[in-house]
Amino acid sequence: MSDVIKLLPAHIANQIAAGEVVQRPASVVKELIENSIDAGATHINLVAKDGGKTLVQVIDNGSGMTDVDARMSFERHATSKIAKADDLFALSTKGFRGEALASIAAIAHVTLKTKTHDAELGTVIVNEGSKIVSQEADMCKNGTSIAVKNLFFNVPARRNFLGKNTTEYRKITDEFMRVALVHPDIEFTFHHNDDEIYNLPKGNIRQRIVQIFGKAFNERLVPVNEETDIVKISGFVTKPEFAKSKSDQSFFFVNNRYFKDRYLNHAITNAYEDLIPSGKYPPYFLYFDVPTQSIDVNVHPTKTEIKFEENQAIYAFLRSAIKQALGQFNVAPTLDFELEQSFVTPALKAGETVKVPEIKVNPDFNPFNTSKASSTKSPGVSGNKGAHGFSKIQPDKNVWENFYDDAKSEEVDKEKSEIQHNEVTLSSSLDNEAGDEVSIEKKKPVQINDKYILSSLKNGFILIDQFRAHCRILFDNLMMADHSNEVQKLLFPETILAEKQDVPIWKEILDDLNELGFDLEIENCEIVINGQPVQAKEENPVRLLTQIFEAYKLTEQNEELDVKSRLAISTASGLAIKGGKTMTIEEMEHMIDALFASSSPQLSPHGKKIIETFTMDEIFKRFN
């Protein structure tokens, strides 16, 4: 047999290796910015298009490269940062593997422009899929600009694997923030498509946090500053009342690198103990300084885990440092967290209380009367739909079947078949005292614990979760059709000042929000609210929309549901009456009627159980 082993051509080897370093546009952003920092830049501009799929470009005013180095920089294992193995243990640079540029060039169209400060002319190199297409001397600014176009152009499978532009954009933003937060002494800008997302002048850590997360953060920050022999911890945690439902503002850095650590994260949760409920996360920005020998720096370039030698000691020290910081600033919670946890409450100012939305019911609504539209109208509502979200819903007979299947009573089964044949009988049974006993009995519903509605059946009873039931009713109504022509106009438009990095997300969901009954426009970073869904009635539009947006961001990874459904779920959750609200008998009766007229009375739009059935058989057994 002849010899079969061959060395792979360099460009194929590079393409394979590239997979390790470059997973997505955000990896390119990380590598390029880190190179700029290593090159001593004090000014770094990031430009991305279409979530980085079309373009990622980083322009810096760092050292630049000579023409020979520029050519070399694309070679695998070409680095200026280490020369011998020992150097690995005294690293002061972010890169050292010499892999990033080789990897990026293997799977993209790269244009490198660079000039050292003492050279007259710079160098421009075009590299496409590891092939140098051209190299020329040219006028260039001091420093380096690297433009990476058409990522994965030659690996279609990888390209298809990328997320939506907004998903990739968010990952780029995360990567950008992670670097910007450790280098407040470097000026950064970030442009995405035509939007300026960040423009961060030089400052200190506190100023950088505020530049990125907004002015409101200034008063939320609690400084942490502790030092022992093994570690120095500095940075900020936040007052407990500003804890969020998402842990996306949790940042650990060690020796100026971002890292994730669930164990140390637990130390923080633990330090906050009773100050915040579970499921809430306090934003934090904590910087560890340890001797370089005490962590393993030789981690994979894309990995964010770091192994500390003295993990347990650091845990204990971190916990006490935070407890002390919180204690020193006499930080006490001011938020009532007893509210429905399934919905995000925006951060409130101290002393402000949470308003429980009123129940919105249409007293005239009869779920089985489909011929006449409901009669109540809100001011400014056009069309003949009721303002309460309960109108025009077709009763679903299957719903009643399933419902009574649960009760497993022969008698009910018999009666059920009668319902199927005679809807009119059922309808009247709901309305008058002489009603058929198959229907929910004429006995009045009872509210339990201000959270559940107990409704008697002939053969038992059901418990209905009031919040989930109302979510279902509102959700169906919001999803029913395009509501954009029956908006409740506001007398005076209101505005929300969006955070810069959120603007592309607002743009993405604007049409769907308008279909759900909002009337919104975007002007730069301002979301102008001209109107809101009629179901929202007197609800504060800014508060409602902020809640919807926050909740939407939480479900952004959920690609199973379309955008409109996800927005409708958060709108419904925001408007639905929460557990803890006392309801009148009429309100409960109307809610029950509307629930059974909805598309899916058993399941809330979040997929949670709305109704629990208790049969007499079960109850008898309990008394045996």
- Give the residues lining the site for Mg ion (CB under 5 A): 35, 95, 100
Give kind and range of the element (H or E) at residue 475: helix 466-479
d(CA 296, CA 89): 9
Q: Of the candidates 445, 448, 467, 472, which has an alpha carbon nearest to the alpha carbon of residue 457?
A: 445
Q: Which residue intervals of 92-247 are DSSP H helices?
A: 100-106, 156-161, 165-180, 205-213
Q: How far is the CB of 294 from ligand ADP (least distance, A)?
A: 22
Q: Can you tell me which of 29, 100, 325, 426 binds ligand ADP, judged by CB under 6 A? A: 100
* DSSP notation for 556-575: TT--SS-HHHHHHHHHHHHH
Of 100 and 588, nearer to Mg ion (C-beta) is 100
d(CA 409, CA 432): 24
* 59-63 contacts, C-beta under 8 A, 24 or more apart: 59/143, 59/144, 59/145, 60/36, 60/143, 60/144, 60/145, 61/141, 61/142, 61/143, 62/36, 62/37, 62/38, 62/143, 62/144, 63/39, 63/116, 63/117, 63/143
Partner interacting with residue 536 (select from Mg ion, ligand ADP, none; CB below 5-8 Å by kind):
none
Partner interacting with residue 25 (select from Mg ion, ligand ADP, none; CB below 5-8 Å by kind):
none
Q: How far is the CB of 183 from ligand ADP (least distance, A)?
A: 14
Q: Can you tell me which of 48, 101, 412, 588 binds ligand ADP, judged by CB under 6 A? A: 101
Partner interacting with residue 387 (select from Mg ion, ligand ADP, none; CB below 5-8 Å by kind):
none
Partner interacting with residue 43 (select from Mg ion, ligand ADP, none; CB below 5-8 Å by kind):
none
Partner interacting with residue 144 (select from ligand ADP, Mg ion, none; CB below 5-8 Å by kind):
ligand ADP
Of 92 and 218, nearer to ligand ADP (C-beta) is 92
Q: How far is the CB of 97 from ligand ADP (least distance, A)?
A: 4
d(CA 285, CA 234): 9
Q: Which stretch binds ligand ADP (CB under 6 A): 95-103, 250-258, 356-364, 470-478?
A: 95-103
Partner interacting with residue 39 (select from Mg ion, ligand ADP, none; CB below 5-8 Å by kind):
ligand ADP
Partner interacting with residue 340 (select from ligand ADP, Mg ion, none; CB below 5-8 Å by kind):
none
> What's the start-to-end Cα distance of the chain, in Å?
84
One character per residue 124-163, x = contact with ligand ADP (rule: CB under 6 A): --------------------x-------------------
> DSSP class of residue 449?
T
Q: Which stretch binds ligand ADP (CB under 6 A): 60-68, 326-334, 355-363, 364-372?
A: 60-68
C-beta atoms surrounding 40 within 10 Å: 13
Site for ligand ADP in 13-52 (CB under 6 A): 31, 35-36, 38-39
Of 78 and 126, nearer to ligand ADP (C-beta) is 78
User: Can you read off the two tokens belonging to residue 377?
Assistant: 């109208």
The answer to whether residue 362 forms part of the interface with ligand ADP (CB under 6 A) is: no
Strands (E), 498-598: 519-523, 526-533
Token pair 């109208």 is found at 377
Q: Are strands 109-115 and 526-533 parallel, antiparallel or unpaired?
A: unpaired
Strand partners, 609: 603
Is-contact 522 513, C-beta < 8 A? no
Sheet holding 131-138, edge to edge: 131-138, 122-128, 109-115, 143-149, 55-60, 43-49, 187-192, 195-200
The answer to whether residue 80 forms part of the interface with ligand ADP (CB under 6 A) is: yes
Partner interacting with residue 390 (select from ligand ADP, Mg ion, none; CB below 5-8 Å by kind):
none
Of 35 and 145, nearer to Mg ion (C-beta) is 35
Count interface residues toward ligand ADP (CB under 6 A).
24
Partner interacting with residue 184 (select from ligand ADP, Mg ion, none; CB below 5-8 Å by kind):
none
Strand partners, 361: none
The answer to whether residue 78 forms part of the interface with ligand ADP (CB under 6 A) is: yes
d(CA 91, CA 38): 11
Q: Which stretch binds ligand ADP (CB under 6 A): 89-97, 404-412, 487-495, 549-557?
A: 89-97
**Which residue is nearest to ligand ADP, using beta carbons?**
95
Q: Can you tell me which of 62, 282, 367, 517 binds ligand ADP, judged by CB under 6 A? A: 62
Return residues touching ligand ADP (CB under 6 A). 31, 35-36, 38-39, 60, 62-65, 73, 78-81, 95-102, 144
